[in-house]
């Protein structure tokens, strides 16, 4: 006589989270290399590779970026499997304008957000922005509005400390149809592609008027992260200095803050 399987959960230690994230990154790297797609370690992950040869000691996530053309090919061709799931804009109840690769059978506990994912890897598209300063300013104003709306749509609960005006503002933003907002945001980010010499990862968090030279992302150079070889943009030094300043210098202790996430994994017991 068979026995019923019972799903149990346990919290993942930081070392386990990082191991899962690294395996996801290796999967993405191998797929991109096989299909001749450009990808780059991004943000804190890139700093970690250059400064620590791995994870920043207090960090617990991985970010990569891809030129928009490679990003779209990746989304349309990366295979689903029993280990990982690719979450993309326009999926139901997914409120981001970028994509995530998430580990199956894991989930994240974070009271500030609605989530349908667990241990994850963020994938940001690199989009062109107008070279003209006025057009670029308008572009970033529109992008910031769309990101603000999406951010509130992703809020699980309203801040109880909001005054009446902020509560009303929150409720108005929550009334928007997120798929329409994502469609408009996507149209905005793609409309200037293949023109000019500037770009940005505008779909990520708050990045007011931060632009980069496309030449910085024109080719890949190797860097090591946790003993594995990955790709960085050829202009990584200029890119990181533009965004972070002296990125090789450790920040003050009070700024060494990890994300407030708890990760869990499900397992079957008979």
Q: What local confidence, expressed as pLDDT, does residue 177 receive?
A: 78
DSSP the chain: -----EEEEEEPPHHHHHHHHHHHHHHHHHHHHHTT---EE-HHHHHIIIIISSS-TT---EEEEEEHHHHHHHHHHPPP-SSEEEE-TTSTT---SSEEEEETTEEEE-TTB--S--SEEEEEEEEE--SSHHHHHHHHHHHHHHHHHHHHHTBSS--TT--HHHHHHHHHHHTS-HHHHHHHHHHHHHTTTTSSSEEE-TTSS--TT--EEGGGGSSEEEEEETTEEEEEETTHHHHHHHHHSSTTSPPPGGG------EEEEEEEE-
Average pLDDT, the chain: 87
Q: What local confidence, expressed as pLDDT, does residue 1 receive?
A: 45
Q: Lowest mean pLDDT: which of 38-42, 179-183, 215-219?
A: 179-183
The residue-averaged pLDDT of 91-112 equals 84
Q: What local confidence, expressed as pLDDT, does residue 84 receive?
A: 94
Share of the chain above pLDDT 90, in %: 54
pLDDT band at 95 (very low <50, low <70, confident <90, very high): confident
State the pTM of this model. Answer: 0.88
The residue-averaged pLDDT of 189-201 equals 84
pLDDT band at 270 (very low <50, low <70, confident <90, very high): low
User: Does the pLDDT of residue 204 top 70, yes or no?
Assistant: yes
Q: What local confidence, expressed as pLDDT, does residue 221 receive?
A: 99
User: Does the pLDDT of residue 82 top 90, yes or no?
Assistant: no
């Amino acid at each position: 006589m068979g026995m019923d399987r019972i799903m149990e959960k346990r919290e993942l230690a930081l070392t386990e989270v990082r191991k899962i994230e690294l395996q996801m990154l290796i999967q993405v790297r191998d797929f991109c290399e096989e299909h001749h797609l450009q990808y780059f370690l991004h943000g804190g992950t890139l700093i970690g590779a250059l400064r620590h040869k791995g994870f920043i000691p207090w960090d617990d996530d991985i970010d990569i970026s891809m030129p928009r053309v490679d990003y779209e090919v990746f989304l349309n061709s990366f295979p689903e499997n029993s280990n990982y799931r690719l979450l993309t804009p326009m999926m139901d109840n997914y409120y981001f304008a970028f994509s995530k690769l998430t580990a199956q059978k894991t989930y994240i506990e974070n009271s500030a957000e609605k989530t349908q994912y667990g241990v994850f890897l963020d994938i940001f598209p690199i989009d062109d922005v107008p070279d003209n300063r006025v057009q670029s300013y308008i572009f970033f104003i529109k992008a910031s509005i769309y990101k603000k709306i999406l951010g509130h749509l992703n809020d699980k609960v309203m801040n109880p400390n909001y005054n009446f005006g902020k509560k009303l503002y929150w409720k108005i933003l929550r009334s928007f149809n997120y798929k329409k907002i994502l469609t408009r945001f996507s149209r905005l980010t793609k409309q200037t592609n293949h023109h000019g010499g500037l770009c940005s990862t505008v779909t990520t968090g708050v990045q007011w008027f931060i632009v980069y030279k496309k030449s910085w992302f024109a080719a890949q150079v190797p860097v090591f992260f946790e003993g594995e070889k990955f790709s960085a943009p050829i202009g990584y030094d200029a890119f990181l200095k533009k965004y972070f300043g002296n990125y090789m210098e450790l920040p003050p202790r009070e700024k060494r803050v990890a994300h407030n996430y708890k990760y869990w994994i499900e397992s079957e017991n008979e």
